[in-house]
Amino acid sequence: MDSQPNLRLFTGWVLIAQVLGLTSVILVAVWMGSYRGGFAWQEDPGREFNYHPLFMIIGLVFLYGDAILVYRVFRNERKMYVKILHGVVQAFALLFAAVGLKAVFDSHNLAEKPIPNMYSLHSWLGLTTVILFGLQWVFGFVSFLWPKVALSMRTIYKPIHVYFGLAIFVMAIATSLMGITEKAFFSVGSPSYKGVPYSALPAEGVIINILGMVLVALGLVVGYIITNPDYERQPTPEEEHIPLDQ
């Protein structure tokens, strides 16, 4: 049973994670909406791109981070319900990521002068992260929600699933940092940019830098919550005597 001080600290860390996650979404929305021209679909490929950073941060950072935390937050709920919630939140994260990928490919392919795809390290690491996340979701669904999978196989796969869950989250944040830096130099740092250059730290540059700092802080907080053994979900007496699919 958790002690009250530990539980209060845990609740505080979770609240901090939520504030940081929401702040990252707000910052990227303000950046794309107020400084990069707003949002559109295929009729304006340049503005369609703006959905890419927004949806990627919503999906692979904010929602994915929350999906990781559900086993800690809902520690006293029936495990099957928590598994379903974990899978559903991750499914929404994957959906946002898929639309975010479509937005960036459309913005390149439908531009008046088409832009090459998949040439930067950001694009390579980003696509790798999305593919790994999709595989993680599929293997997790089959291993922990498919009733015909043997208990021994679940036991073997669980530490692998836990490790890659956190590793992919770290990859998502790293890719986001690379992406916002790339966008900053391509846009605010471009010689053709008419406004205050990035090197002079305009308001847009401040938002970009704060966004990066918030993403790093979110990764550190989620990582701390997940790796702290005091916050680990302990199985109830009933769970110790029933299969994992119950």
Domain ranges within the chain, ordered by starting residue: 9-231
* Residue 55 Cα distances to 3, 14, 60, 102, 103, angstroms: 38, 22, 8, 10, 9
pLDDT exceeds cutoff 70 at 225: yes
**What is the predicted pLDDT for the residue at 5?**
56
| Pairwise CA distance, residues 43 & 37, whole Å | 14
CATH level 2 (architecture), domain 9-231: Up-down Bundle (1.20)
* 51 against 233, higher pLDDT: 51
pLDDT exceeds cutoff 80 at 93: yes
pLDDT, tens digit (0-9, with 9 covering 90-100), for 99-130:
999 999 999 999 999 999 999 999 999 999 99
**What is the predicted pLDDT for the residue at 236?**
65
Among left, alpha and beta (phi > 0; psi -120 to 50; other), residue 131 is: alpha
* 80 against 172, higher pLDDT: 172
Q: Give the lowest-confidence range in 16-20, 129-133, 224-228, 232-236.
A: 232-236
**What is the predicted pLDDT for the residue at 56?**
99
